[in-house]
Amino acid sequence: MKRSMVMVVMVCLAVFMLGCNSNKTSQPIAEVNGEKITQADFDKLYAVIKADYESTQGVQLDNSKDKKIIDQLKTNTYDNLVLQKLIRQDTAKKDIKVDSKEIDQYISYIKESKNQTDKEGFKKFLAETKFTEAGLREYLETQQLHSKLSDKVTASVSVSDTEVRKYYDENKSEFQDPGGIQIYHILVADEKTAQGIIDKLGQGGDFAALAKEFGTDGTKDTGGDLGIVNEDSNLVTEFKTAALALKPGEITKKPVESQFGYHVIKAGEKKAATQKTFEESKAEIKTKLEKEQKDKIFNEYLAKMKKDAKIKDLR
């Protein structure tokens, strides 16, 4: 009897605590055209936005030291929730619907890709991003509706050949291929192995075969091919300096150390700088100009939608 009474008390206490928490989290912080946004909505999205910021910046935010950043993230969260609500309201009016099958397929793809190397990969992904699976679905649905609404609003956008030609003539420098030199490398973990490879090459060894045998990065199966390298290439300084000092056909005499390990570097043919023709650049320019126009029109549409809406800030 006593055991039963204790269980009843514990259940009642749990319900009471859940009720208190529910009242707090269900408190509205905004109204958008009469529809409420709750504290729970805010808390869920803020957790995701904060986790994303900390992950991309490699930091752990401190409530007192990083108050300005946290305040900005909270403002972004609020604005994002208002925009999401407006998009869902507008797409409902326009009879734009979520493609649930597409969302299912995308979530399945995320699960499979995350679980490939770790059976708990998807759970860890949710923990890291602060998403629940339901929250992830809602986020993907909103993104899909955003995209469909944008397509509908900007459907009439087109760029003429005259506009494309004008842009090319006025921005030819954007369509220059700077050229450079073809570079190959073999990356290994230690200097002794790298020097041994250089010695083998000096005795007539085949670079591509040695790359396949000893290489430790993704280029090992393509002969160590890194493509064309020039001063603008996004490579670590010590590697780039050594590579650009080589003449065609030349191989580094000593291993080149970087944060990734030790490199044996070989130079291939030099490629001169060239100017892309209009025909070669046409499709790229057309895509760029169409995207710019669509972004401008859709951003103006969203701004007007927000301006015309009845938004109450209840924070």
Residue 13 has pLDDT above 60, yes or no: no
**Please, which pLDDT band fits residue 181 given cuts at 50, 70 and 90?**
very high
- How far is Cα 50 from Cα 76, in angstroms, rounded to an integer? 10
Q: Hey, what are 184's tokens?
A: 């190959």
Residue 30 has, within 13 A of its CA and on its CB side, a CA count of: 21
CA-nearest of 203, 189, 205 to 263 is: 189
Phi-psi region at 116: left, alpha or beta (left = phi > 0; alpha = psi -120 to 50): alpha
pTM value? 0.68
The model's pLDDT over 188-203, given as tens digits with 9 standing for 90+, comes to 999 999 999 999 999 9
**Please, which pLDDT band fits residue 44 given cuts at 50, 70 and 90?**
very high
CA-nearest of 278, 274, 273 to 168 is: 278
- How far is Cα 18 from Cα 26, in angstroms, rounded to an integer? 12
Reduce the DSSP state of residue 179 to 3 states and report it: coil
Q: Hey, what are 145's tokens?
A: 């509706």
The model's pLDDT over 125-173, given as tens digits with 9 standing for 90+, comes to 999 999 999 999 999 999 999 999 999 999 999 999 999 999 999 999 8
pLDDT at 24: 64
Please, which residues bridge with residue 267 across strands? 183
The model's pLDDT over 68-115, given as tens digits with 9 standing for 90+, comes to 999 999 999 999 999 999 999 999 999 999 999 999 999 999 999 999
What is 87-138 written as a DSSP string? HHHHHHHTT----HHHHHHHHHHHHHHHHSS-TTHHHHHHHHHT--HHHHHH
Residue 16 has pLDDT above 60, yes or no: no
Terminal C-alpha separation, the chain:
48
- How far is Cα 39 from Cα 254, in angstroms, rounded to an integer? 62
